[in-house]
């Protein structure tokens, strides 16, 4: 990684937490569980805001990242509703996690 290390870790942690918080739920359960959907919405907002700080140099070097999905998430921002959150959570966030995992150092000595 490079100068974006902290930002990428913020994106990664927010994405992982969002998935973890909603794991095992179906859409209906998610919609009625205020604690869970509030926590997921917050993490998606953190992810969106952090992703805006990822520089163009990194984006150019890593075309494998789902930039279109990341940028769309950023565009939704504060206007995201629960249906958007659920759809993004299961269609886009796993790809974001996988992409960040591909560039973060592995192991305690990395």
Query: Per-domain residue ranges for the chain?
Result: 5-101
The pLDDT assigned to 70 comes to 83
3-class secondary-structure state, position 10: helix
Determine the Cα–Cα distance for residues 11 and 51; give it in Å rounded to an integer: 6
Q: Residue 2 has what pLDDT? A: 47
| pLDDT reported for residue 106 | 63
Residues 85, 3 contacting (CB under 8 angstroms): no
- Counting as low any pLDDT under 50, the low residues of the chain are 1-3, 107-110
Give the separation between CA 107 and CA 23, rounded to whole angstroms: 25
| pTM of the predicted protein model | 0.84
Alpha carbons 1 and 4: distance in angstroms, whole number: 7
């Amino acid at each position: 990684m490079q100068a974006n290390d902290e930002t990428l870790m913020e994106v990664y942690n927010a994405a992982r937490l969002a998935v973890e918080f909603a794991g095992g739920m179906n859409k209906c359960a998610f919609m009625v569980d205020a604690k869970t959907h509030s926590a997921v919405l917050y993490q998606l907002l953190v992810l969106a805001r952090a992703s805006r700080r990822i520089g163009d140099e990194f984006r150019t070097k890593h075309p494998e990242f789902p930039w279109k999905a990341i940028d769309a998430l950023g565009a939704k921002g504060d206007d995201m509703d629960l249906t958007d959150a659920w759809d993004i959570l299961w269609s886009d966030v796993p790809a974001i996690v996988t992409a960040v995992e591909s560039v973060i150092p592995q192991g305690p000595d990395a």
